[in-house]
């Protein structure tokens, strides 16, 4: 069996699904690796690095023809879908709830599609959990970008000329990205506060040396996979009222709140932005799913009367070497989990909880179900 990896640089995606260090691991379990020429050149990885590790090079566009498994970052384009042979196992991030037509085309093409977003949040599956591994890096990058754009330094400094107060950072949404943002901002010396609708994360926030902001919005909670439940319109109104004062006292605000399978909640309104101090930097990490901040724009910087709103998409892609390394490990662990060494094939057994969760198409049918 052969697994193929393609470059998506032409689509603006700098990450790749394989690194030279992973190729020998595939070969040791009996899988040959095919890599598109030039796949890592933008990261300083020459084709020779992949070939020396044991990968077979292939010209662009030819990888699907010779591989039974195809792994990448993004969903394939319509043109690429038509070039993928029926029966191919396709592994990538897919958005089965927003791009229903694309998923339907993959099903009609006879492609068996695995969505890396749908890997369940469990202890057993965490080594395959690409959503978490990439969100972790995204939280780090968000703080670095915000710090670079701010006119202030993050740590407290005591000098003969006087004392500079630490930057006040507010993180909204304490998932994987939020926790990393808190930890990174704390390591840089900031005074950090954090808010989440799930009271259960308070201890995690405090363990990182941050203050947990409490706002009474009634009963909240999380799904069985650990995602925040969607708030009612009244709860969102109460949350915004409580957040206005906290935001007005912050120098940097990082929003990470997302509801799995649904548009991101609008947490910061235009009125809240207007109440912020000039010079405040807001990083909207949810901009790709609709945005938490009113006025944020994808891949753009907005200056709203001195308040800087950063809407950079694909934050993990700004550190492509480490992001690719982590994603490549996630993909390998997924393949290894279902590899049948005796039959030399990948078995996607129905009834397996991981497969039930992440399989988007199979045998011409669309299988994805929106989470409750």
CATH classification for the domain delimited by 2-118+319-364, as one of 3.40.1010.20, 3.40.50.720, 3.20.20.140, 3.30.430.20: 3.40.50.720
pLDDT in the model for residue 141: 99
Give the Cα separation of 236 and 311 in Å (integer): 21
Instruction: Give CA 333 to chain center in angstroms.
Output: 18
Give the pairing of strands 339-340 and 345-346.
Answer: antiparallel
- What is the CATH architecture of 138-217+227-318? 3-Layer(aba) Sandwich (3.40)
% of the chain at pLDDT higher than 90: 82
Alpha carbons 28 and 38: distance in angstroms, whole number: 24
Q: How big is the chain, counted in residues?
A: 372
For the chain, give every domain's residue range: 2-118+319-364, 138-217+227-318
pLDDT score at 219: 66
Which pLDDT score is estimated for 240?
81
Q: Which residue positions in the chain have pLDDT lower than 70?
A: 218-230, 369-372
Q: Evaluate whether 2-118+319-364 and 138-217+227-318 have a shared fold.
A: yes
pLDDT at 371: 53
3-state class (DSSP) for residue 284: strand
pLDDT of residue 226: 53
pTM of the model as a whole: 0.92
Catalytic (active-site) positions: 121, 126, 129, 132, 227
Chain segment 161-196, per-residue pLDDT in tens: 999 999 999 999 999 999 999 999 999 999 999 999
Cβ burial 144-164 (10 Å sphere, 16+ → b, else e): bbbbeebebebeeeeeeeeee
Residue 121: predicted pLDDT:
86
Q: Please give the pLDDT value at position 370.
A: 58
């Amino acid at each position: 069996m052969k697994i193929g990896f393609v470059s998506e640089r032409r689509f603006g995606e700098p990450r790749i699904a394989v690194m030279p260090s992973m190729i020998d691991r595939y070969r040791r379990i009996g899988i040959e690796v095919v890599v598109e020429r030039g796949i890592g050149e933008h990261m300083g990885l020459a084709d020779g690095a992949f070939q020396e590790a044991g990968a077979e090079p292939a010209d662009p566009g030819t990888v699907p023809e010779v591989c039974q498994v195809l792994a990448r970052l993004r969903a394939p384009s319509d043109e690429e879908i038509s070039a993928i042979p029926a029966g191919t196992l396709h592994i990538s991030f897919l958005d089965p709830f927003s791009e229903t037509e694309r998923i339907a085309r993959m099903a009609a093409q006879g492609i068996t599609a695995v969505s890396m977003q749908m890997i369940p949040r469990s202890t057993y599956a965490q080594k395959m959990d690409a959503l978490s591994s990439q969100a972790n890096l995204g939280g780090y990058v968000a703080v670095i970008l915000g710090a670079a754009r701010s006119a202030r330094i993050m740590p407290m400094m005591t000098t003969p000329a006087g004392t500079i107060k630490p930057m006040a950072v507010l993180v909204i949404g304490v998932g994987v990205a939020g926790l990393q943002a808190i930890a990174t901002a704390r390591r840089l010396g900031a005074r950090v506060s954090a808010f989440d609708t799930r009271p259960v994360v308070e201890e995690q926030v405090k363990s990182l040396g941050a203050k947990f902001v409490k706002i009474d919005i009634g009963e909240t909670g999380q799904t069985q996979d650990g995602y925040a439940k969607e708030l009612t319109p009244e709860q969102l109104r109460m949350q915004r009222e409580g957040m206005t004062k906290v935001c007005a006292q912050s120098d940097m605000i990082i929003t990470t709140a997302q509801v799995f399978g649904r548009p991101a909640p609008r947490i910061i309104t235009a009125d809240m932005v207007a109440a912020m101090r000039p010079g405040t930097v807001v990083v909207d990490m949810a901009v790709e799913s609709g945005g938490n901040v009113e006025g944020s724009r994808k891949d753009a910087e907005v200056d709203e009367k001195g308040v800087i709103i950063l809407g950079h998409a694909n934050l993990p892609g700004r550190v492509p070497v480490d992001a690719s390394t982590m994603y490549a490990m996630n993909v390998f662990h997924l393949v290894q989990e279902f590899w049948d060494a005796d039959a030399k094939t990948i078995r996607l057994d129905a009834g397996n909880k991981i497969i039930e969760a992440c399989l988007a198409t199979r045998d011409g049918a669309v299988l994805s179900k929106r989470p409750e």
